[in-house]
Chains A and B, each alone.
Chain A
Amino acid sequence: MDRHSLGHIHLNLPTIKGEMNMKTKIFALLILAIIALSIMGYSYACLNGGLNINCNQPNCDIKFTTVTTSDNEHEKDVATTHAQITNDGNTINTYISNAYPCYEAHITYTIQNTGNKPTHFTNLTIINPNPEALEITTTNHTCTWVQPGQTVNGLTIVHILQTARESWQYTFQIKIGIICQIEYPRTIGFWKHQFQTALGIIKGRQHIPSATLEQYLDQITSQSQIFSFTGTQRQKFQQALDILSPPQRSSMEAKLKAQLLALWLNYVAGWTNGYKIDGMTAEEIIEGSENALTTPIPAEYEYWKNLCDRFNNIT
């Protein structure tokens, strides 16, 4: 290496260091800019109602939203009843003080489905260790469905019996059990896919086993006035697929039958529970559609077809 070249290397070292510094600075600036933009975005979101990430995930939640109390005292105000809802909305704490025989406390409450799936009241349990002193009657919501956003009202009446002891404390609890309908009706395309994959027409994942599909078709055959699936499993599947896939320019009757069969399949799968369209349950729509087809009332075909279609596409 000659003298000249050594000098050249020597001269280039600060340039490399400078480039490195520059890259670090740019990188730091980039990170700062990202952080600043994120903060600005977040602040803007907060100013406009908060940051929401909606991935259309099932959200099951039910809460007490209001509670009021009253009693049967008209002239004298001796006993008092007050109630409050806990912060999580899952409990109403009621306090009755200075109670006496014949006193009746009324607790009126509202329950709201604050999630995005129908919920179902499954059971009601009254835990009253002192039935000789307290008579408790309460609204039984069991078997009631609550749609998202919908509210139901309830009333609990506590009646103090003659045998209640003075200067005594009693407690009781009412437990209301709720389950959420995670499942939802599937589209006609979903059902076509199941039969196509079961028949080996297309490759893909079959969500519902063939045995279950056959069970569904047998159930429909026994309950429906329109559909009857007979023969081997393959034959039944082919019959179902033919109904679910009407030709492009088919009649309204064929279109109605296609949507109706999809609704039937959703119904027997238990995926229609809790859902309603125009105030009608799947069962009512099936009944109306079959009535229109058996009577027959061709003028109503389109109406029922649309209802079935909307129900199958409810989510």
Chain B
Amino acid sequence: MRKFRRNSQINKTIGTIFVILTLTLITIGFAYSIWQETINIQTTLNMAEFKILIQNYNTTLTTQMPLDNHILELTGTITPSQTIWTGIIIKNNGTTPATITYEITTNNTLIWDTYFTHNEYFYGPYTTDPPPEVWNNSPTLPPSGALPTPPELSAQNKLVAWQNITLDSNCPPNAFTAIEITVAYTATFQTWTDTVSVIYTLTFQP
């Protein structure tokens, strides 16, 4: 009886092993017969950064420092025949080139067109800080060698823009009390734009 029981146990073990092996072989066979694979194209894409800022400025007016390097607010008085000079260093702080254009807007177009004159002078582009002769050590303003239009600004390059605003000597004393003038420099690349501005708030002093 004991011998029979032992044989039965052995048979059971062999049977189990046989079934496991058979199942394994079937699984392997099935897996092999439907061999399939996936090949991949994986892409990581980093977008460029597009940003210009006012790195530094020089002006003949009492000034307030811009809060975010995008706006330079200048306040002061202006008298007939006076010329206000302001220079800024615009830096392309992004990773793409930028085309710079500028535009002047005021809150009193009639007065601006009638009694004010304005000129812009551009220097650069510079890969490092602009040379002193076009920035803070210029013997005269505007410095010599100016470009009539802003040059294209490569990534991390700098541009010097000098601008003057002159009030005509014939401006009558009651022509206006104050005027706000905004000179906006807009950088463009494809559909991206970024703008820095110089905003003058000038009180007329006859």
Residues of A within 8 A of B (CB): 60, 62-64, 76, 78-79, 90-102, 107, 109, 111, 122, 134, 138, 156, 158, 160, 162, 164-180, 182
Q: Mark B24-54, 1 if CB is under 8 A from A, else 0.
A: 0000000011111111111111111110000
The residue in chain A whose Cβ has the minimal distance to the Cβ of B96 is A78
When A and B form their complex, which 5 residue pairs have the shortest distance between CB atoms, in order from nearest? A180-B35, A174-B41, A94-B43, A96-B45, A98-B48
| B191 located at the interface, meaning its Cβ lies under 8 Å from any Cβ of chain A in the complex | yes
A158: contacting residue among B35, B43, B96, B191, CB under 8 A:
B43
Q: Assuming the A-B contacts A167-B49, A169-B46, A177-B36, are A102 and B190 also in contact, with contact meaning beta carbons closer than 8 angstroms in the complex? A: yes
Q: Is B41 touching A170 in the complex (CB atoms < 8 A)?
A: no
Question: What is the bound-complex CA distance between A164 and B96, given in angstroms?
Answer: 15
- Given known A78-B96, A100-B190, contact A179–B35 (CB-CB < 8 A): yes
The interface centre, meaning the residue of A60, A100, A134, A167 with most chain B CB atoms within 10 A of its CB, is A100
Q: Is B66 an interface residue (CB 8 A)?
A: no
- A168 CB contacts on chain B under 8 angstroms: 46-47
Which residues of A have CB within 8 Å of B33? Answer: 182
Contact A167 B40 (CB under 8 A): no
- Collect the chain B residues with CB atoms within 8 Å of residue A90's CB: 37-40
Query: Does B39 lie within 8 Å of A91, measured CB to CB?
Result: yes
Closest CB in chain B relative to A98 CB, distance in Å:
4
- Provide the residues of chain B in CB contact with A138, threshold 8 Å: 41
Q: A98-B96, A179-B35 are in contact. Are A171 and B41 (CB under 8 A)?
A: no
User: Complex formed: what's the CA distance from A168 to B41 in Å?
Assistant: 20
The answer, among A91, A95, A109, for a CB contact under 8 Å with B44, is A95
Q: A171 contacts B44, CB within 8 Å?
A: yes
Docked Cα-Cα span, A6 to B7, in Å, equals: 52
Residues of B contacting A95 in the complex (Cβ-Cβ under 8 angstroms)? 43-46
Question: In the complex the two chains form, what is the Cα distance from A175 to B95 in whole Å?
Answer: 32
User: For the complex, what is the distance from the CA of A84 to the CA of B192, rounded to whole Å?
Assistant: 31
Distance in Å: Cβ of B53 to nearest Cβ of chain A? 15
Interface size grouping (class) on chain B: 20 to 34
B42 A60 Cβ-Cβ under 8 A: no
Q: How far is it, in angstroms, between the C-alpha of A252 and the C-alpha of B40 when the chains are bound?
A: 50
Whole-angstrom distance between the Cβ of A130 and the nearest chain B Cβ:
9
* Contact digits for B83-100, partner A, Cβ 8 Å, 1 yes 0 no: 000000000001111000
CA distance in complex: A60, B35 (Å): 7
8 contacts between A and B (CB under 8 A): A95-B45, A96-B45, A138-B41, A168-B47, A169-B46, A173-B43, A174-B42, A179-B35
Q: Mark B44-68, 1 if CB is under 8 A from A, else 0.
A: 1111111000000000000000000
CB of B38 within 8 A of CB of A178, answer: yes
Bound together, the chains give a CA A104 to CA B135 distance in angstroms of 40
Write the nearest CB–CB distance from A239 to chain B, whole angstroms: 31
A91 to B96, CA, bound (A): 30
Decide yes or no whether B189 CB sits under 8 A from chain A: yes
Q: How far is the CB of B20 from chain A (nearest CB, A)?
A: 25
Closest-CB distance, B151 to chain A (whole angstroms) = 14
Chain A residues closer than 8 Å to B44, beta-carbon distance: 93-96, 169-171
Contact A91–B41 (Cβ < 8 Å): yes
Q: Which residue of A lies closest to B34 (CB)?
A: A179
Instruction: Find out whether the CB atom of A101 lies under 8 angstroms from the CB atom of B40.
Output: no
Task: Tell me whether B190 and A96 are in contact (CB under 8 A).
Answer: no
| Contacts A111-B39, A176-B41, A179-B35 supplied; 17 other A-B pairs, CB < 8 Å | A62-B37, A76-B97, A95-B45, A98-B46, A98-B47, A98-B95, A99-B47, A101-B192, A102-B190, A138-B41, A162-B191, A166-B49, A167-B49, A170-B44, A173-B40, A173-B43, A176-B39
Q: Is the CB of A169 within 8 A of B38?
A: no
- Which residues of the other chain, B, contact A176 by a CB distance below 8 angstroms? 38-41
